Amino acid sequence: LPLLNPVNRVIWKRDARMSIVNCFSTATPGDARKPYCEDNAASELVELSRLHPDKIREEETVTKFATAIGKALFALLIQPIKDLVIIESLESMGLDSLVAIKLLAWV
């Protein structure tokens, strides 16, 4: 059930960290969330994985996956993408249980 649905009664839907949760499907031109949403890298990587599963373990593909996950995490945490360092652990980037739930839903 989408967070924006009026029937959804979860208490954390008004949490500031959740304000950007629907960006991957709802960003519009001129939207402030657009830097986090304009990249189709995740969809392209999933398609690449389906068509060429042997390429998943290549360093370039792993880096692209890590970057896509990092961008999704930073979007949820409302942090600038320029601060993304993919060699850091998710915990050091600010992942907590609430954000982990949304990140898992995105993945």
- For 50-70, write each residue's pLDDT tens digit: 888 898 889 998 898 888 888
Out of 14-18, 33-37, 87-91, least confident range: 33-37
State the Cα–Cα distance between residues 20 and 34, nearest whole angstrom.
10
Closest residue by Cα to residue 22 from 72, 62, 92:
72
The pTM of this model reads 0.56
pLDDT at 12 over 60: yes
pLDDT in tens, 14-29: 676 665 555 544 544 5
Average pLDDT over residues 71-77: 80
- Please name the residue that has the structure tokens 């009664």: 9
pLDDT at position 27: 47
pLDDT band at 33 (very low <50, low <70, confident <90, very high): very low
State the Cα–Cα distance between residues 66 and 47, nearest whole angstrom.
16
Average pLDDT over residues 20-44: 55
Could you give the C-alpha distances from 35 to 9, 59, 88, in angstroms and in order?
29, 25, 21
